[in-house]
Amino acid sequence: MGGFGAYISRLRRSKSGRSRALLGVRSVAAEVLLLELVLVVLLVAAAALSLVVQGRRAAVHEAERGSYAVAQAFAHSPGIVTALDSPNPTAVLQPLAEKIRKTTHVDTVVVTDIHGIRYTHPDPALIGKHILGPYKEALHGHGFTRTFTGSRGPAVNSVVPVTRADGSTAGLVSVGIRVTNVNKLADRELPALVGAAVATFALTAGGAALISRRLRRQTHGLGPAEMTRLYEHHDAVLHSVREGVLIIDGNGRLLLANDEARRLLRLPANAEGLPVTGIGLPPPLAERLASGRSVSDEVRMAGDRLLAVNLRPTDEHGGPAGTVATLRDTTELAALAGRAAEVRERLLLLHTAGVRIGTTLDVTRTAEELAEVVVPRFADFASVDLAEPVLRGEEPSVPLGTVLNMRRTAAAGVRADHPPFYPIGRVVGFVPTSPATLGLIHGHTMLVPDLSSEPGWQGTDPERSARILAYGVHSLLSVPLHARGAVLGMANFWRSENPDPFDEDDLTFAEELVARAAVCVDNARRYTREHEMAVTLQRSLLPRDLPEQNALDIAYRYLPAQAGVGGDWFDVIPLPGARVALVVGDVVGHGLHAAATMGRLRTAVHNFSALDLPADELLARIDELVARTDRTENADGGRAEITGATCLYAVYDPVAGTCSAARAGHPGPVLVLPDGTVQSPHVPAGLPLGTGWLPFESVELPLPEGSRLVLYTDGLVESRERDFDTGLDTMRTALAGQHRTPEETCDDLVSALLPTPPGDDAVLLVAATHTLDPSHVGEWDVESDPSAVAGVRKDVSQWLIDQGLEEETFATELILSELVTNAIRYGDPPIRVRMLHDRALICEVSDSSSTAPHLRYASTTDEGGRGLYLVAQFADRWGTRYTAEGKIIWSEQTPGATGAPTFAWTDETLDI
């Protein structure tokens, strides 16, 4: 501490050198002067910028007004409409435009036709060429003004329409003006600004000099740097250290005490200036402080605190006489030593919990291990409540403001019986306004040191709370179990035998312990969820119900393997036009991955079938999807590829009585004709999905009514004891002969091919065909003429009456009118209309164009664009199907459906 006085002396002895430093850049005067100079410069710059901006705005505004006024005057001048409609508008308008340009001092006066072709221009070489920039807005009768930046600076251009007497637009007048220099206004004001700045700078320089002189007198010649260092040392000694500091003069009077010293010694507010022996300190300590002798770490008592005292004189290096004392509180050292055993015990308990909790992947057992490990070393009783979704392996959901049902899952205590608490298995409902529920929802711990004085806890269940208090329980600590942002439940710790209530240290320990246990509970929950997912996935491999349709009578069988979850699947998908798609697929392998892959492929087939793609194109899309998925999994380090999946996709059309089929590495179908003949129609075999080497080919098969189409997977005909060809021969033999229903066919095939449970999954799909009654089909050829719409609509109306569908006439005629009109306008002949009456009323309009229709949402001012929107409103479904000859736009209506608007129309209204 003696160095502190020497430092003060050195500062005073260096006064002569400081006088020169005051002239430097770091002096107070120089800093004040520099600051005010910067402010003046900024103010002048801001004023000049404001003048320039104001002048530019005024100039641009004036240019906009002038150009628009000239354009309006020229556009409404007599004779301009006649000139625009004349054979040679340039000969009449060019001299007038140049005269007006020179008279009004604008840069350009350009007259164009409605297509933007110039009739006039200052540069004759540009006459007859197309103008640049937007102009179509003026064609609707609205003039406009635009500001842009050209090669010669900012400019303004106004465009005004020239209208005829009937309101039509004859042409456009465009007037351009280049914005003039706007800095003249600022130039007139700059001398005054500069003068004000010079005067202000002179005043600030003089004021800074006066302030510098006054500061030098008040600081005894100390400069800013020296004063800063002096303050920093002073502040470090008094406030930065976590020790009490006292400065005592040579007469034993207290000159200064920092905040820590006041706290340790409980000094009065007016202690400075009083003798150390007269400020209420214990006599031994006061005498030691007033002695002035050096002391190192001498322990003295000050009330209930144990202080280590250090004393150093300040006059050892020529400083003023006095003493600096430092005081360090060592009272907590004893308490820390006493708690070392407790901390060691807590660490050992955490280690034990890490070993004993989570030994199984069972949620209930993990909760029991948590309750057992804390009794009696941390709590006398412990209970664990878990949310019911957690027990089922689901993600817990804890919405604020709703009752959260939790189930008492585990409990343990120092006594075998603990009747005051909820029994195991009891559903505990927390009211949202209670502290327990609020703590659970927000993931905060609830600490109740004294249960008898906590009304919120007692209000949840007063009767049971009274029994718990009577049982001797006095303190509660509830900690939520949360992992990965989800709250799983609540761990409750109770004390009855231990008289010490739970405190903040117990809270910290409990949170650490429960956090580790929550991870184990979450792992067990996730395992339970994965197990349930596997079971659920295995049960949902196939569609539960077949869709309703009239084209096919379908029966199916799915025979799972003896062990594991396989990847065989089938689907029946209704398509537009009363058609039905039949799908059979097989994923190589077993287990969760095979089942999940099957689900992905089945979903992809459903999605692509909604696009109404041909069979070969649909398989190509699936093949591309599988290849892309395999590449992605390989890039991510995955080894479970999809390649090896097979699929057969067939589309049956009951109107034409044909079936279009394509396959990707899958066994071909078997066809049973109505007379009992069995055939194996040739369907080109493609490679399995995901290889992408060769394209797929489709074939169209004629299917007489009453035929049976049999689709299957290789697990039905192939096994370890029987090769594929042998199994296929057995299938043909079982199918030949008398007529059987699809259900009977399935039973016969299963009996013949799989007398015992299969070693691999097997799928069998049998479909008996029907054709649509020709009387329910109507077809008309339409000429490519809008006047033909009325005739087709009349024929379709009569057909609807013959079908007994009079109530569908209005909506059908409207839909038909829009579809036929669009085909005439945007399609190519031949145009054909086909109506089908099956489970739904189907309207199809075909043409030879491949242009896709687009549904628009027209605005209130548009005159068109609502055709397909009306179709979408009146039809249950609509879409587009592409064929080899063009496309078909179709719509479906459910006969007898209500809700369509009723109003009358005429032929003229629909024949737009």
Helix (H) or strand (E) holding 581: strand 580-586
Q: Is the pLDDT of residue 671 over 90?
A: yes
Q: Is the pLDDT of residue 708 over 50?
A: yes
Is a pLDDT exceeding 80 seen at residue 908? no
Classify residue 269 by its DSSP letter: T
Return the residue matching tokens 């010649």: 221
**What average pLDDT does this structure show over 95-99?**
86
Say which DSSP state 24 is in. Answer: S
Residue range 106-126, pLDDT digits in tens: 888 888 888 888 889 888 888
Q: How far apart are the first and last CA of the chain?
A: 105
Question: Half-sphere exposure of 304 toward its Cβ, with a 13 Å CA cutoff?
Answer: 1
Least confident of 3-17, 279-293, 305-319, 354-368: 3-17
Name the phi and psi angles at 847, rounded to 5. -150, 175
Q: Is residue 186 predicted with pLDDT exceeding 70?
A: no
Query: Residue 870's pLDDT band (boundaries 50, 70, 90)?
Result: confident
Q: Which region among 385-389, 417-421, 735-739 has the lowest average model confidence (pLDDT)?
A: 417-421
Per-residue pLDDT, 403 = 56
Which residues, 6+ apart, have CB-to-CB distance to 177 below 8 Å? 63, 66, 67, 106, 107, 155, 156
What are the C-alpha distances in Å from 362 to residues 151, 368, 430, 522, 526?
A: 78, 10, 25, 10, 10
Phi-psi map region of 135: left, alpha, beta (phi>0 left; psi -120 to 50 alpha): alpha
pLDDT digits (tens, 9 = 90+) for 8-19: 444 444 444 443
Q: Which of 179-188, 301-310, 423-432, 867-876 has the highest mean pLDDT?
A: 301-310
Please name which of 771, 557, 756 lies closest in space to residue 654, comparing C-alpha atoms: 771
Contacts 24+ apart (CB under 8 A), 724-732: 724/667, 727/753, 728/667, 728/670, 728/680, 731/670, 732/670, 732/678, 732/680
Q: Residue 430: its pLDDT value, please?
A: 57
Bridging pattern class, strands 658-664 and 685-686: parallel
| Residue 420 tokens, joined | 């005051």
Phi-psi label, residue 273: left if phi above 0, alpha if psi -120 to 50, beta otherwise:
left
**Confidence (pLDDT) at 278:** 84
3-state secondary structure 708-773: EEEEECHHHHCCCCCCHHHHHHHHHHHHCCCCCCHHHHHHHHHHHHCCCCCCCCEEEEEEEECCCC
Q: What is the pLDDT of residue 455?
A: 73
Quote the pLDDT of residue 410: 92
Which pLDDT band holds residue 366 (cuts at 50, 70, 90)? very high
Say which residue, 372 or 306, is predicted with more confidence.
372
Return the C-alpha torsion angle 303, 306, 308, 314, nearest 10.
Answer: -10
Mean pLDDT, residues 327-338: 68
pTM comes to: 0.46
Label the pairing between strands 777-782 and 153-163: unpaired
Q: What is the pLDDT of residues 712-726, one digit of tens each?
A: 998 888 888 888 888
CB 596 within 8 A of CB 542: no
Higher pLDDT pick, 619 / 167 = 619
Instruction: List pLDDT tens digits, range 609-666.
Output: 988 889 999 999 999 888 887 777 666 555 555 557 899 999 999 999 999 999 999 9
Is residue 434 over pLDDT 60? Answer: no
| SS3 at position 831 | strand
- Mean pLDDT of the region 689-693: 79
The whole-number pLDDT of residue 192 equals 67
If pLDDT is split at 50, 70 and 90, which confidence band does 582 have? very high
At 169, give phi and psi (nearest 5°): -95, 120
What is the model's pLDDT at position 335? 58
- Calculate mean pLDDT across residues 238-259: 81
Q: Yes or no: say if 543 and 801 are a contact pair by the CB < 8 Å rule.
A: no
Residue 401 has pLDDT above 70, yes or no: no
DSSP state of 140: T
Residue 868, beta-bridge partner list: none
State yes or no: cis peptide before 654, omega within 30 of 0.
no
pLDDT at 840 over 70: yes
**Percentage, residues of the chain above pLDDT 70:** 79
Residue linked to tokens 């109505």: 674
**pLDDT value for 12:** 45
Q: For the chain, what's the residue count? A: 912
Judge whether residue 431 has pLDDT over 90. no
3-state secondary structure (DSSP) of residue 295: strand
Residue 307: alpha-carbon gap to chain centroid: 60
Give pLDDT tens digits for 482-538.
887 778 888 999 999 888 899 988 998 999 999 999 999 999 888 777 756 755 676
Of the pLDDT bands very low, low, confident and very high (cuts 50, 70, 90), residue 907 is very low
What secondary structure does DSSP assign to 159-219, as a single string?
A: EEEEE-TTS-EEEEEEEEEEPPP--HHHHHHHHHHHHHHHHHHHHHHHHHHHHHHHHHHHT
What is the model's pLDDT at position 636?
A: 58
Lowest mean per-residue pLDDT among 122-131, 179-188, 571-580, 806-815? 179-188
pLDDT at 554: 93
Query: What is the residue-wise DSSP string for 391-409?
Result: HTTPPP---TTS-EEEEEE
Enumerate long-range contacts of 159-168, CB under 8 Å, 24 or more apart: 159/71, 159/135, 160/68, 160/71, 160/72, 160/74, 160/75, 161/75, 162/75, 162/80, 162/81, 162/84, 162/111, 163/81, 164/81, 165/81, 167/141
* CB contact at 8 A, 719 and 758: yes
pLDDT of residue 44: 66
Q: Which pLDDT score is estimated for 25?
A: 41
Percentage of the chain with pLDDT > 90?
A: 17
Q: How do residues 17-67 score in pLDDT, each as one tens digit?
A: 443 333 344 555 566 667 766 776 777 677 667 766 776 677 677 777 888
What's the pLDDT tens digit per position in 441-472?
555 688 888 888 877 676 667 888 888 888 88
Widest CA span in the chain: 132
CA-only gyration radius of the chain, Å: 48
- If 0-12 CB within 10 Å is exposed, 13-18 middle and 19+ buried, where does residue 36 land? middle
Helices 742-753 and 724-735 cross at an angle (nearest 10°) of 140
Q: What is the mean pLDDT of the chain?
A: 79
Q: What mean pLDDT do residues 556-572 have?
A: 78
